[in-house]
Amino acid sequence: MELTQLKYFMEVASSEHITKSAEKLHIAQPALTQAIHRLENDIGVKLFEQKGRGIVLTEYGRHLERSVAPILYKLEKIPEELRRMAKLDRDTIRINVLAASALVTEAIVEYKKRSEVNFSVFQNSDGVSDIEVTTKILYHVSRERRDFEIAIDEEIFLAVPKDKFGHSVSLNDIENEGFICLQGSRQFRAICDKYCHHLGFKPNVIFESDNPTAVRNAIAAGMGVGFWPQFTWGEAENEHVRLAKITDFPFKRDIVISYNYSRADNENIRGFFEYLKNFFLSRKSI
């Protein structure tokens, strides 16, 4: 059975008149009659029988009509479904956030106030995304930047109790301190651990929380110290907490924002990439 044959069959079944169906289908009456006969021959049963000057469905024809109707209805809906899927794909930006999640979320909230673009945000190092935000140790040598990637350097401070430390600190002097960490920041944690390893010690983590406020409060209470990025985690200093500059060497990381170059023709992705880049740069300058 061919799709065209089934469409012809359904029209004739509806009108019960070959001539009227041929006119509606914009084909010659003999061609329609031959198409119906070929369908009957392919199946091996009669689908119509004469009744007066018209034709009616046989028992087999009625069964075929009931079976084919939902299939053709579904097929007719597929092009519109595909168009809706394509529109949703165009209007949805998939963001893989492996660093600075709080700042990315804030940027999305602000962007949604001016745009109807949808966002799908996830954390998956292997995920396929339109935009990715990740981090790594700051590049020590200059390299060519691609036009679909930007790296924003961010200094890493040591958040310390104000009554115990000054405005600068050497990590060699605090290696025996307890460290308080933000849970879930695996890439940031790896960077800090690598820097500490370079100085010959491993941080003694005594407390972890997935809430930056809880981390800050624990440091304020004198429980320990913690690494704190310059701008992506928000304000840390208060009357009890100080951000001390690490003096051993430039203690920094790169925040890398990139977009999938294969989707470079999507204006929504390019537009949000530029917005996110400027959003981060503006926070860095504060």
Query: Which pLDDT tens digit goes with each residue over 167-196?
Result: 999 998 898 999 999 887 888 999 999 999
Which amino acid, residue 269? I
pLDDT class of 146 with cuts at 50, 70, 90: low
5-19, 21-35, 75-89: segment of lowest average pLDDT: 75-89
pLDDT at 255: 94
Is the Cβ–Cβ distance between 229 and 156 less than 8 Å? yes
pTM comes to 0.69
pLDDT at 84: 84
Q: Where in the chain do CATH 1.10.10.10 domains reside?
A: 3-89
pLDDT at 141: 44
Buried/exposed 113-142: b ≥16 CB within 10 Å, e otherwise? eeeebebebeeeeeeebbbbbbbeebeeee
Burial of 178 (0-12, 13-18, 19+ CB in 10 A): middle
Rounded distance, CA 35 to CA 16, Å?
15
Show Cβ contacts of residue 68 under 8 Å, excluding neighbours closer than 6 positions: 6, 9, 10
The answer to whether domain 3-89 has CATH 1.10.1070.11 is no
Q: 213-268 pLDDT, tens per residue?
A: 899 899 999 999 999 999 998 887 788 999 999 999 999 999 999 998 887 788 89
Is the per-residue pLDDT at 127 higher than 80?
no
What fold characterizes domain 98-285? D-Maltodextrin-Binding Protein; domain 2 (3.40.190)
What mean pLDDT is reported for the chain? 89
pLDDT at 11: 92
Residues in the chain: 286
Is the Cβ–Cβ distance between 108 and 280 less than 8 Å? no
Rounded distance, CA 149 to CA 266, Å?
16
Is the per-residue pLDDT at 133 higher than 70?
yes
Q: What percent of the chain has pLDDT over 90?
A: 64
Residue of 73, 116, 111 lying closest to 91 (CA atoms): 116
Distance from chain centroid for Cα 209: 26
Is the per-residue pLDDT at 140 higher than 60?
no
Average pLDDT for residues 64-91, to the nearest whole number?
Answer: 89
Q: Where in the chain do CATH 3.40.190.10 domains reside?
A: 98-285
pLDDT at 147: 61
pLDDT at 142: 45
Q: What percent of the chain has pLDDT over 70?
A: 96
282 is written with which tokens? 């503006």
